[in-house]
Copies of this chain bind each other. A is one copy, B any other.
Amino acid sequence: MAADSEVPAAGADAPAALDPVIHAPARLRIMASLAGLADGDTIKFPRLQKVLGMTGGNLITHIRKLEGAGYVRSEKAGRTTTLSLTDSGRAAFHAYRQSLRDLLGSD
């Protein structure tokens, strides 16, 4: 019977809790996409919808949640809505990614 092993750091000491606003898979994909934009760049709602392969209704629901958390900014110009990360959204995404890395450890 193998010895009862010590659990290495990954997963053991409670890393910063994974931000539930970001962790939900659909919102994680939205945040990852917006985080990939250069600072100051925006993306049109229909474009993001197409890229992520989500329904408009589903995307709006998650965008509202992310706006409510102050992570995403949506601006309307005429009939066009553009989306981008706020500074706090970018900071939250980086912190989330770091706690995930801490949790998952490396190979």
Beyond A2-B40, A4-B82, A38-B5, is A10–B32 a contact (Cβ under 8 Å)?
yes
Interface assignment of A92: CB less than 8 Å from any CB of chain B: no
Beyond A25-B17, A97-B104, A104-B97, is A11–B32 a contact (Cβ under 8 Å)?
yes
Beyond A2-B40, A2-B42, A28-B103, is A33–B47 a contact (Cβ under 8 Å)?
no
Interface assignment of A52: CB less than 8 Å from any CB of chain B: yes
Interface residues of A (CB under 8 A from B): 1-5, 7-12, 14, 17-18, 20, 23, 25, 28-38, 40-44, 47-48, 51-53, 77, 82, 84, 97, 100, 103-105
23 pairs, CB–CB < 8 Å, chain A vs chain B: A2-B40, A2-B41, A4-B43, A4-B47, A5-B41, A7-B43, A7-B48, A10-B32, A10-B36, A11-B29, A11-B30, A11-B31, A11-B35, A11-B52, A12-B36, A14-B29, A23-B25, A29-B103, A32-B103, A32-B105, A35-B105, A36-B105, A100-B100
